[in-house]
Amino acid sequence: MQQNTSIIHQMTHRFPIKEIARQSGLGAATVDRVLNNRSHVSPQTRNRVEAAIEELVQQEQQLAARGRRLFVDIVVEAPERFTAEIRQAAEAVLPSIGFGIFRPRFLFQEIMSDADIETILARIAKRGSHGVCLKARDIPVVRQMVDRLTSLGIPVVTLATDIPGTARTAYVGVDNANAGRTAAYLMASAAKSEKGVVLATRSQEEFYGEIERYTCFCETLAELMPGFEVLNIAGGAGLASATTNRLTGVLEDVEDLTAIYSVGGGNDAIVRLLAEYGYADLIYVAHDLDRDNRKLIEAGAISFVLHHDLKTDMRNLFLAIAAAHRLAPPTKPKLVSDVQVITPFNLPV
């Protein structure tokens, strides 16, 4: 009760008693008793007054934010098929964000060297920004730049893959650890034998989200199907030619290949290569319902796609940046979206 009282007292100086009474639907005398912590006030009444004050605070924030422009730099290292989804999701949710007028500035590259990402983030630090959305590898230069941007008052929100242990403001995206566990469960449920080789492909070594997926996948699969061996292949950046080059020699030496867990994409190239080597009827679990994966699962080349709603992620991103500027209520440091298991029978329209 004392905690509620302190919250109320911190807020009351902003709003007249009559305004709080109108918002709560209570009489002014009742509100006065609550604000002054007098006796004979029920917990329900106190909660209604506190809720009314919080609602007034949010309304005040929305009024303050209305018309304010916020420039957000969206910096992403990913194949074009995924960055196109990010752009579409961002543009779709922007009209519904009531805390300011967001102006995204997209900077997409399929592969970023250490020097590339340092230059990009240093340029943002120099010219300024209201926030940065970042999908990048977890490497020392990125960690340093995240902390530098934050120290300059530029909130950084990581997307899809986190940069833990830094001063980043929030992470938005799928729960990668649970996604990996879900992939293992689906694979174990679909397996027709107790032994086999699973090829786990990752786009890069340093994407923390892919490490989370892969690690939790291996741990869960070892519990559910101890006879399965996981072969880890990283590289290719999710791009067709690089992925093909990375896997060609590997497939020549693999025996008893049973399943594919595509942690980092490039599935169109992987499926074509599997067909060239005569593999069929493999259990295939992939991530993200992009245009390539939609065609592959419709054709039966992929068994399951673990999908999450990028629109939810982008909405959470803009809200986290607005909250960092005190234009919206505070948000959690991790804003995860649910994993959806997609099959050929429940493809979204």
- What pLDDT score does 239 carry? 77
User: What is the spatial distance between Cα 139 and Cα 282, in angstroms, rounded to a whole number?
Assistant: 34
Cα distances (Å, whole numbers) of residue 168 to 107, 162, 189, 198: 19, 9, 38, 35
User: Are the beta carbons of 159 and 134 closer than 8 angstroms?
Assistant: yes
Enumerate long-range contacts of 229-234, CB under 8 Å, 24 or more apart.
Answer: 229/196, 229/197, 229/198, 230/197, 230/198, 230/200, 230/261, 231/197, 231/198, 231/199, 231/200, 232/200, 232/202, 233/199, 233/200, 233/201, 233/202, 234/201, 234/202, 234/203, 234/204, 234/205, 234/264
Choose among 92, 101, 76: nearest CA to 310.
92
DSSP 32: H
- What pLDDT score does 12 carry? 43
349 residues of the chain, pLDDT tens digit each: 344 444 554 444 578 888 888 888 888 999 888 988 888 889 889 888 888 888 777 666 655 556 678 899 999 999 998 999 999 999 999 988 877 788 899 999 999 999 999 999 999 999 999 999 999 999 999 999 999 999 999 999 999 999 999 999 999 999 999 999 999 999 999 999 999 999 999 988 899 999 999 999 999 999 999 999 999 988 877 777 888 888 887 887 888 899 999 998 889 999 999 998 888 889 999 999 988 999 999 999 999 999 989 999 999 999 999 999 988 889 999 999 889 999 999 998 7
- What pLDDT score does 19 carry? 85
Amino acid identity at 44:
Q
Per DSSP bridges, beta strands 304-307 and 340-342 are: antiparallel
- What pLDDT score does 6 carry? 46
Burial class from Cβ neighbours inside 10 Å (0-12, 13-18, 19+) for residue 167 reads middle
- What pLDDT score does 54 carry? 81
- What pLDDT score does 95 carry? 87
- What pLDDT score does 344 carry? 92
- What pLDDT score does 65 carry? 53
